[in-house]
Every structure is written in structure tokens, then in C-alpha cells.
């Protein structure tokens, strides 16, 4: 008996899903005698995919340390399939250095030099990560049991159609693949402009201006940005940092350390960059200090609390009202636990004293800061969640919202903020920042345990993706510290200016005095404006399947599934994600599930946990991959007429799914 599986997408998400299928094959497929042919379809190399492909600038890096990256399960993973351990990225590099990986040949001179000296606390390049992922994909293929054959096709799927005896997958090359089951395992993908972006594109074109809409930085064509040109950059997250790298170091500039301070030596080919955003500051840097105190734990979002929040008979959850106060309190506990137990010489009293203080005050109670000041003498050791989130305050904060007398003052305030952030996140004596990081990570994992159906419509469509996910990335998933140090060096060299918070950009037409049309950036917090002929919106495009630049995803929504819409008495909207059950099966528009059509990734209604992850963290991707792999094996067996053992639990589909679009 034979079965055919087509996997659309060949990046780390697809490779890790196939690893789970291979790991489960000895129990699920081998006893049946079923032979399975797997075709992995992606225009980019299997394992690395589009985002982690080798063919990108050698300057671009991960925002994770080499010791914090793995694609292998371990004994912390709560999965039904077998555990198959393997090396983290740094362990893989160390094994290569010892000559223990004869099947690994690093023929890129720059990557080879990097691997020779890489330490666990270093931030590796994406090219090195590409080599690790390519090796992992080869290992998955080689470890497939007898009867399971995995082929990688560098092609693009454009359409999937249901046939009487299965599925037919059309490829861009003109080839056709027949399949008994299909899984869309596409990672991050580009998107056609939404209405506001499309409008800005057209208005910029009409005015003769150069606008670069949201896109993956490695894919951008930056040749149209001339040396010396003024460029307004909206966004100060990871995409903006990568953009700055490509427009400075990528054009021949150099960083050198003089008397302990980083300096930038310009090449003369750089533009002049003007950076602004809503917060007005870059994402917080990754923390390089190590914990000195008690091990991190969940003090507020405990399993019992999460169970109560998840109870199906309780009213729907509102993130701002019901959960954000718990998260904020959890972050305070994480910060102060590390400070009091790791640095008792920097505080008055004990961790029990601090914990009682935290329990008596809400996170935003002004009395909390007064009470903490009595226990924590140094203001640098204190944590204010409001200041953490919005260093210059929000417009609604009134007197707390910072206002600057000049553009220079706004720029200098951002520079001072970055210097303070680096001090807090790199100095050993300020390891409370590491306690804050772990509390943020534990809160993220805790929230992933709450069923999606428990949230009200606004939380699902707006607050969770826009406030919580962004806050998490800002606090816990920012750039390496040296990238922020480079921003400071560029500011010192005059190659970069900070615009401050609440930046907005408008197009002003040419006037009679000979001033050309331009993009004009302003902020209500500071006087003056910046005028430029070029605007870059430096953030990633939204993961909306119906507007995807991936033809197969657009086809999936249009023909086989639907985008998740949520509604209640107060809010209605679309999440832009394909509806799937928690075992990955795609839901039809009416709410019923396909038996042999699956989807997994950021474009689906499943909770997003990324592809690869931190070792020993029972990460969500492993649990999702294992569950979907089990359901897919059952589907292949069923398609071949083999009775599959029923799953332990029926797939969960929330009420919004059953309601249809």
C-alpha cells in the first residue's frame, strides 16, 4: 500500500513537522506496511526556507543567542510522540569543530570563520543558522524509516484542487503532484498592501516620492536609496535595525572601538536616517547578564489561575481588564525576585518583604513606587511597568507624557534611554533585567495555555496580536545589545537621528517657492519637522492569508477554507488567519473539517509560537507539530484504507470557527 503527502513550505516549520512524522512512523506507519512518499515544495532550500535562506547579507543576525536555539525535542516536551533529542545550534557548532559531523561541510568562508570562534552567548548570523537548518533537514530525510521517502522540490505550489481520489497540487513549473493528504506548512510570508498602504504607494508615486512599504528586510531592493539622501524610517523594531545595518555597514561603513567606545567610520555611501515610532525608542536589547538569585517561577499566573481563566463556564476574557494586570504583576515579581535573592546588598529587607509589598498594591498604583523606594535605594534597580512600556509616556498620561523643547532634546532623550537600557541589560549587577525577561517569557507561555475561544472578540482581533505580542517582542525579543550600541555610534557620527515618540508622516506637495514634494515627519511631543524624499515603513507585513504573496495560501482561503472572524456584542472583525482545528485540520466555510487537508503556521488560527525555539522550555511549536503529525499519520492511514487508532481527544474547534466566516 502507498500513500502520498505533499508539504507546501520547506522552512524550519515544515522540517520540524516532518521530524515528528518520522519520529512517529515506527509506531504509526511501519506496522501497517504503508509506504509513504513525501514531496516538500518550496522555492527556497529545504530546512532554511525563505527567511533563513543562505542567500542573504552576511551582516544579518538572529536575535537569539546560539545556546538558545534548537529544533529538537527534549524531556521537557509534553508530547505523545517519542522524544528524539539533538544538538542546539551551539552544540552543533561545537560538534563540527571537534570533527564529529562528517556530513557537514561549511563552504562559505565567512560562515566557517564565524563557526570557528562562535560562543554560546554570541548572536549567530542567519547564514550560519541556514547551515544548521539545512543539516537538520538532511538528518530528517536520512532518518526516515524504510518505506518513507522524502523528496525536496525547489518549486512553488500555486493551487490545490480536490480530486475524486485525493488532491492535485499545481506547481509554478507546470508540474503536478497527486496526494492523499496536503499540509500547508508555510512560515512568515509577504503580503499585498492593505488599503492604507496601497493608498500611500499611489500618493507617493503621484508626488514623485520613493516609498518602501512593509516587507522582509532581506528582500528589500535598497539600490534606489542614494548616498546622502534623507530617509524617514517608521518603526524601531528588528526590521528597522536590520535596515540600518544594510544601509550603513552594508554600504561599506565600519565600526571600531576607541578607548572602549564604539565609533562609526562612514564610507560616504550612507543615507541620513531619521528614525521614529509610537514609543520613540528601539526594542529593548537582549539581556546578557546571568541570574544570581532564585530560579524563575510563575507567582501570579499560576497553573490554578490559568485553569480558572480557561474555565468554559466563565464570562469571556478581556485582555486589558482580566489578564494584563496579572501579567504586569508577574513581571514585577520576576524583576524583584532576582534583585532581592540575587543581590541582597542592593536592597533593604528580604524577598518576603518585597512580595508582601507587591501583593498590597496594583501594578499601576502610585503608592507601589513609594513603597518600593523604601526597600530599593537605587532608582536604577526599580521597575515601573508603565515606564517600561512607554518610556516617554502615552498621550493620555497627561503630565507624565514627556514633551521636548527642541528636536535635539528629543534626539538626546532617546540616546540617553538607549544608554540606560544597555546598562540595565548588560551589567552583572543589574541581572534583575534577566528576571524580568524570564517573567515575560513565562507569561507568554502561560497565556498560550488559555483556549482561544475564552477571549472576547476585541482581545482576539486587536489586543492580543497588537498589544500583547508587540509588548512581548519589545521587552523580550529585541536585538542583541551590540546592535543598540551601533545605533548610538551612528548617532554620534551624524548618520542617524531619532525623531521621538508619536511620529506621524504626511505627504506635502511642492510649493511655489521651489521646495519639492516630500514626506514630512512630525511629533506632537517636539517642535519642528523632518522632510525627506524617501520613506521606509520598517516592520513586517501582516500575516493575512487572503493577501499573501504566496499563491497557495490565497488559494487555500478562496477555495478550501476561510479566514477566522470573531464577533460579540461589542466588536466584530477578522483575524486574517485560516481557520484550523487544534490538530491542524482545515475548517471549511461552514465549520466542518477536512479529513486530509492540514495547515500549520502564523497564518492559521492556532496560537503562534514560532518555528525553532529555546532548549528545555516545553515550547509550543513542539506540541503543535507533534499533535498535527499524529493527525496526519491517521489521515494517511485512513486514505489508504487502514484503520487508524482513534486520537485520545477529538480536535478542538472554537465557537468562532463553527460559526463560519
Per DSSP (E only), the strands in 585-628 are 585-587, 593-599
- Parse the chain into domains and list their residue ranges: 2-68+126-191+543-659, 195-283+480-537, 303-476
The predicted pLDDT at position 652 comes to 58
Question: For residue range 260-291, what is the model confidence (pLDDT) as tens digits?
Answer: 999 999 999 999 999 999 999 999 999 999 99
Q: Are strands 166-171 and 176-179 parallel, antiparallel or unpaired?
A: antiparallel
The predicted pLDDT at position 647 comes to 43
**488 neighbors 502 (Cβ within 8 angstroms):** no
The predicted pLDDT at position 658 comes to 38
Percent of the chain with pLDDT over 90: 84
User: Average pLDDT in the 428-455 region?
Assistant: 95
Which of 566, 553, 493 lies closest to 41 in space, CA to CA? 553
Residue 409 grid coordinates? 532634546
pLDDT at 657 over 50: no
The predicted pLDDT at position 655 comes to 45
pLDDT at 659 over 50: no
The predicted pLDDT at position 89 comes to 98
- Give the CA diameter of the chain: 82
Task: Count CB-CB contacts under 10 A for residue 622.
Answer: 26
Residue 337 grid coordinates? 525576585
Q: How confident is the model at residue 648 (pLDDT cuts 50, 70, 90)?
A: very low
Tell me how far apart the alpha carbons of residues 390 and 404 are, in angstroms, rounded to a whole number: 16
pLDDT at 26 over 90: no
User: Average pLDDT in the 500-521 region?
Assistant: 92
Question: For residue range 132-177, what is the model confidence (pLDDT) as tens digits?
Answer: 999 999 999 999 998 999 999 999 999 999 998 999 999 999 999 9
**160 neighbors 552 (Cβ within 8 angstroms):** yes
Tell me how far apart the alpha carbons of residues 389 and 403 are, in angstroms, rounded to a whole number: 17
Which of 563, 587, 584, 582 lies closest to 574 in space, CA to CA? 563
Q: What is the pTM of this model?
A: 0.93
pLDDT at 660 over 50: no
Per the prediction, the chain carries an average pLDDT of: 93
Same fold, 2-68+126-191+543-659 and 195-283+480-537: yes
Higher pLDDT, 36 or 590: 36
Partners of 654 in the β-ladder: none
User: Average pLDDT in the 6-27 region?
Assistant: 95
Residue 324 grid coordinates? 494584563
**126 neighbors 61 (Cβ within 8 angstroms):** yes
pLDDT at 424 over 80: yes
Mention every residue, 6+ apart, whose C-beta is less than 8 A from residue 593.
Answer: 581, 585, 586, 587, 651, 653
Q: How confident is the model at residue 639 (pLDDT cuts 50, 70, 90)?
A: confident
Question: For residue range 239-268, what is the model confidence (pLDDT) as tens digits?
Answer: 999 999 999 999 999 999 999 999 999 999
User: Average pLDDT in the 331-353 region?
Assistant: 98
User: Average pLDDT in the 90-99 region?
Assistant: 98
The predicted pLDDT at position 49 comes to 95
The predicted pLDDT at position 645 comes to 56
Classify burial at 262, counting beta carbons within 10 Å of its beta carbon; exposed 0-12, middle 13-18, buried 19 or more.
Answer: middle
Domain spanning 195-283+480-537 has what CATH number?
3.50.50.60
Tell me how far apart the alpha carbons of residues 355 and 349 are, in angstroms, rounded to a whole number: 11
Range of weakest confidence among 18-22, 218-222, 376-380, 512-516: 512-516
Residue 134 grid coordinates? 539545512
Range of weakest confidence among 116-130, 391-405, 495-509, 525-539: 391-405
Q: Tell me which CATH homologous superfamily contains domain 2-68+126-191+543-659.
A: FAD/NAD(P)-binding domain (3.50.50.60)
Region of 268 please: left (phi>0), alpha (psi -120 to 50) or beta.
left
Amino acid at each position: 500500500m502507498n500513500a502520498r503527502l505533499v508539504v507546501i513550505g520547506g522552512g524550519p516549520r515544515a522540517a520540524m513537522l516532518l521530524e515528528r512524522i518520522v519520529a512517529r512512523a515506527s509506531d504509526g506507519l511501519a506496522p501497517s506496511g504503508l509506504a509513504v512518499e513525501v514531496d516538500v515544495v518550496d522555492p527556497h532550500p529545504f530546512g532554511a526556507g525563505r527567511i533563513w535562506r543562505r542567500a542573504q547579507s552576511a551582516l544579518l543576525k538572529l536575535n537569539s543567542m546560539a545556546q538558545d536555539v534548537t529544533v529538537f525535542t527534549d524531556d521537557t516536551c509534553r508530547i505523545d510522540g517519542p522524544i528524539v533529542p539533538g544538538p542546539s545550534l551551539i552544540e552543533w557548532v561545537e560538534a563540527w569543530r571537534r570533527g564529529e559531523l562528517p556530513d557537514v561541510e561549511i563552504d562559505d568562508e565567512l560562515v566557517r570563520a564565524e563557526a570557528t570562534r562562535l560562543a554560546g552567548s554570541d548572536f549567530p548570523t542567519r547564514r550560519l543558522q541556514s547551515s544548521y537548518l539545512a543539516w537538520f533537514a538532511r538528518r530528517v530525510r536520512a532518518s526516515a524509516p524504510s518505506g518513507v521517502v522524502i523528496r525536496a522540490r525547489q518549486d512553488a505550489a500555486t493551487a490545490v484542487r480536490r480530486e475524486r481520489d485525493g488532491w492535485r497540487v499545481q506547481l509554478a513549473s507546470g508540474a503536478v503532484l497527486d496526494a492523499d493528504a496536503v499540509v500547508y506548512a508555510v512560515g512568515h510570508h509577504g503580503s499585498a498592501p492593505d488599503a492604507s498602504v496601497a493608498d500611500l504607494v499611489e500618493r507617493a508615486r503621484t508626488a514623485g516620492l520613493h516609498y518602501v512599504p512593509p516587507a522582509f528586510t532581506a528582500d528589500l531592493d535598497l539600490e534606489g536609496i542614494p548616498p546622502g539622501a534623507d530617509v524617514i524610517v517608521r518603526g524601531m523594531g528588528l526590521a528597522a535595525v536590520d535596515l540600518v545595518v544594510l544601509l550603513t555597514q552594508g554600504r561599506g561603513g565600519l565600526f571600531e572601538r576607541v578607548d572602549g567606545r564604539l565609533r562609526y567610520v562612514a564610507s560616504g555611501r550612507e543615507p541620513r536616517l531619521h528614525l521614529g515610532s509610537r514609543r520613540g525608542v528601539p526594542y529593548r536589547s537582549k539581556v546578557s547578564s546571568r541570574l544570581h538569585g532564585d530560579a524563575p517561577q510563575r507567582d501570579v499566573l499560576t497553573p490554578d489561575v490559568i485553569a480558572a481563566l480557561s474555565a468554559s463556564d466563565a464570562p469571556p476574557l478581556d485582555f486589558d481588564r482580566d489578564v494584563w494586570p496579572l501579567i504586569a504583576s508577574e513581571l514585577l515579581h520576576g524583576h524583584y525576585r532576582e534583585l532581592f535573592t540575587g543581590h541582597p546588598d542592593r536592597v533593604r529587607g528580604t524577598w518576603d518583604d518585597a512580595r508582601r509589598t507587591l501583593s498590597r498594591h496594583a501594578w499601576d498604583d502610585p503608592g507601589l513606587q513609594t513603597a518600593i523606594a523604601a526597600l530599593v535605594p537605587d532608582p536604577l534597580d526599580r521597575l515601573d511597568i508603565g515606564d517600561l512600556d512607554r518610556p516617554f509616556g502615552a498621550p493620555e498620561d497627561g503630565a507624565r507624557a514627556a514633551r521636548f523643547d527642541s528636536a535635539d532634546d528629543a534626539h538626546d532623550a532617546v540616546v540617553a534611554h538607549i544608554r540606560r537600557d544597555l546598562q540595565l541589560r548588560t551589567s552583572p549587577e543589574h541581572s534583575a533585567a534577566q528576571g524580568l525577561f524570564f517573567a515575560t517569557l513565562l507569561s507568554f507561555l502561560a497565556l498560550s495555555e488559555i483556549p482561544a475561544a475564552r477571549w472576547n472578540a476585541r482581545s482576539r482581533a486587536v489586543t492580543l496580536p497588537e498589544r500583547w505580542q508587540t509588548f512581548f517582542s519589545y521587552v523580550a525579543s529585541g536585538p542583541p545589545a551590540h546592535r543598540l550600541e551601533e545605533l548610538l555610534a551612528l548617532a554620534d557620527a551624524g548618520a542617524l537621528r531619532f525623531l521621538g515618540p508619536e511620529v506621524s508622516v504626511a505627504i506635502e506637495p511642492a510649493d511655489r517657492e521651489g521646495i519639492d514634494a516630500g514626506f514630512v515627519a512630525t511629533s506632537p511631543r517636539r517642535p519642528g519637522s523632518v522632510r525627506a524624499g524617501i520613506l521606509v515603513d520598517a516592520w513586517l507585513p501582516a500575516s493575512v492569508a487572503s493577501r499573501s504573496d504566496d499563491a497557495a495560501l490565497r488559494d487555500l482561503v478562496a477555495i478550501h477554507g476561510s479566514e477566522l472572524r470573531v464577533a460579540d456584542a461589542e466588536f466584530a472583525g477578522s483575524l486574517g488567519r485560516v481557520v484550523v482545528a487544534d490538530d491542524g485540520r482545515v475548517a471549511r466555510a461552514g465549520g466542518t473539517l477536512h479529513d486530509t487537508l492540514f495547515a500549520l503556521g502564523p497564518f492559521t488560527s492556532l496560537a503562534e509560537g514560532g518555528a525553532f525555539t529555546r532548549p528545555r522550555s516545553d515550547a509550543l511549536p513542539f506540541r503543535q507539530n507533534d499533535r498535527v503529525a499524529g493527525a496526519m499519520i491517521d489521515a494517511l492511514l485512513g486514505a489508504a484504507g487502514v484503520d487508524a487508532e482513534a486520537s485520545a481527544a477529538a480536535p478542538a474547534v472554537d465557537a468562532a470557527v463553527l460559526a463560519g466566516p
